[in-house]
Amino acid sequence: MTWSTPRWVLGGFGLVLGLPRHLGKCCIDPPTVKLLSYPTQEDPENRVLLVCLIEGLQGSNAQVEWLINQQVQELEEDNYSCSECSNKKATQWSQVNVSRQSWDQGAEFSCRVSHTSLKEPIVESIKD
């Protein structure tokens, strides 16, 4: 049987009652990226901890890039970890310490997450 999406949506196939007319829609939540900051007054090195939290990507192969004012940075002390990585709802995170001076001056910090399942990277940004 040949069918078209418009005909399917309009119910033109005499479907059994109660069968939902959803095509290609499922209960899969899209991945989320959150950027969190933890400025601490007690830090003797005057740093701000940034954490990029990634939820909903399968596996541990997400690529995280850090940006300051939309420019890719090679930041030191980058820590990366993954929890329940074999699960479809894996939680991954990357964290870096940035200078309090750049934070206080209003720089925009971003984490850009790439993954084979994403059509384009997800970018999350934060400013003081």
pLDDT of residue 82: 75
pLDDT of residue 52: 92
pLDDT of residue 4: 46
pLDDT of residue 57: 83
Instruction: Give how far Cα 25 sits from Cα of 4, 20, 34, 84, 102, Å.
Output: 16, 11, 25, 26, 44
Every domain of the chain and the residues it spans: 26-127
pLDDT of residue 87: 62
26-127 topology per CATH: Immunoglobulin-like (2.60.40)
pTM over 0.75: no
Query: pLDDT under 50 in the chain at which residues?
Result: 1-10, 13, 15-25
pLDDT of residue 109: 94
